[in-house]
Amino acid sequence: MDLTLTAEQQLLEDSARRFLEERWQPSRVRELESSSHGHDPQLWAQVAALGWPGLVLPEEHGGAGRGMLELAVVAEQLGRAAASCPLLASTTLVALPLSWAGTGQAHAWLAALAGGRAVGALAHLEPGGGGDEWRRPAMSLERGGGGWRLSGAKELVAYAAVADVLLVSAALDIETRALVALERGRPGVGVRRQHALGGDPLYRVDLDVAVGGDDVVTADAAEQLLSRALDHAAVAGCAYAAGLARRALELSVRHAQERRQFGRPIGAFQAVAHRCADMEADVEAMRLLALQAAWALDHVGAPALEVGAAKAYTNEALRRVFGHAHQIHGALGFSMEHDLQLFTRRAKAVELSWGSVDRHRERVAQAMGL
C-alpha cells in the first residue's frame, strides 16, 4: 500500500492544521479544561461546518463517504493541538456503529450526527470493570411491565453531559448483548462529572429508564459492532497520539535550541540531540502505523494485525517520546504553566484507552497464527 497522502488528503491535513492553530491555542485548551462541560458549542459548530463529523459516514446519511484514512489525518492534527472535542468519540463509537446496524432507529440519528447537529456518547464501561473495553457488560436489559427496563451505571463516558444520544451496551441474557440508543434528556438518565487525567471530559451515567423496542439498535450483533467500533476508536486514538507526540518533539527541539548551558544551546550536546533523534523515529513510526491501520479498517476484512500493531507500538512509543521530552525540559515541563503537560496528560489518557500493550500484542500474535 502507498501511504503517501493524495492531493486531496494533503489539502485536508493543511486545512485542519490551519484551523486548529487559529482556533485551538493552548490558552483555549486550558479554558475548556476548567469549564463546566469541557466543551465549546461555538467551536463545535465550526468543526461541523468543516464537515468533519460526517467525514466517514455514508453519503445517504448526510456524510462525505470518505474513509478512516481521512479521519486519521484530522485526528493527528487534533492531537498536535491537544484539542478535545466530541469528534472522534462521537464518530467512531456511536455514528459508525449506528450506520453499520442498519436499523430504522439507528438511521434516525445519523443525519444529525453527520452534520454535527447532534453528539453521541458510548456508555459501555462499568464500575469495577477495570477500564476494560472488551469486558462484557453486566448492566441488564430486562423485560417487565409490558416493555423493557435498563438500570445500572456506566462510567468514563466521554462528553455524556453534552451528548444528544447515548449508545448503551447491556446484557439481554448470559449469552446475548444489546445496544440501546437513548436520548440523554430522557427521564431516568443522570450524569455526574468524573475526574479525568486529561483530554475528553468523562462522566458517570446512572440509568433507570424504560426502553421501547425501537430503542434497541441491535440484539444479535452487539458484540461484533462494539468490537469493530473499538478498533476504529483505537486507530483514531493512535493518529491523535501521533499528533501529540509530534508537538512534544517540536516543543523539545525549540527548548533545546533556546535553552543555554555552558555557553551554548543544550541541543548542541549529544545526549540531548540524540534524544530528539529517537523521538523523531518514534513519532514517524507511530504516524505510519496509524495510517496503515486506518487503511486496513477500510480494505482488510479482519485488520487485527494492523490495529494491534499500531496500538501496541503507540502505547510504548508514547512513554519513550514523552519521557525524552520531560528529560529535555527538566522541571519546567512538569509545571502547569508550560504547554508540555497538556500533551503529556492526553498521551497517558490515550495509552490507557482501547486496550493495553499486552492485549494488542496477543491480537497480533494470533493474527500471525501463533
- Report pLDDT digits (tens) over 132-169: 777 878 888 887 777 788 999 999 999 999 999 999 99
Q: Parallel, antiparallel, or unpaired for β 165-171 and 260-261?
A: unpaired
pLDDT at 344: 97
Interval 74-87 mean pLDDT: 96
User: Rounded distance, CA 257 to CA 212, Å?
Assistant: 62
pLDDT at 82: 95
- Every domain of the chain and the residues it spans: 7-118, 121-219, 223-367
Q: Is the pLDDT of residue 219 over 70?
A: no
- Determine contact, residues 86/39, Cβ cutoff 8 Å: yes
User: Rounded distance, CA 355 to CA 315, Å?
Assistant: 9
Res. 103 pLDDT band, cuts 50 70 90: confident
CATH value of 121-219 in 2.40.110.20, 2.40.110.10, 3.20.20.70, 3.40.50.300: 2.40.110.10
Report pTM. Answer: 0.95
User: Rounded distance, CA 365 to CA 19, Å?
Assistant: 40
- Determine contact, residues 146/160, Cβ cutoff 8 Å: no
Q: CATH top-level class for 7-118?
A: mainly alpha
Fold of 223-367: Butyryl-CoA Dehydrogenase, subunit A; domain 3 (1.20.140)
Interval 66-86 mean pLDDT: 96
- Report pLDDT digits (tens) over 20-61: 999 999 999 999 888 878 889 999 999 999 999 999 999 988
- Report pLDDT digits (tens) over 158-197: 999 999 999 999 988 777 788 999 999 999 999 999 988 8
Q: Is the pLDDT of residue 220 over 80?
A: no
User: Rounded distance, CA 210 to CA 69, Å?
Assistant: 39
User: Rounded distance, CA 276 to CA 37, Å?
Assistant: 36
Select from 249, 267, 256 the least CA-distant residue to 343.
249
User: Rounded distance, CA 356 to CA 324, Å?
Assistant: 21
Instruction: Collect all residues with Cβ–Cβ distance below 8 Å to 200 and sequence separation of at least 6.
Output: 38, 84, 86, 89, 158, 159, 349
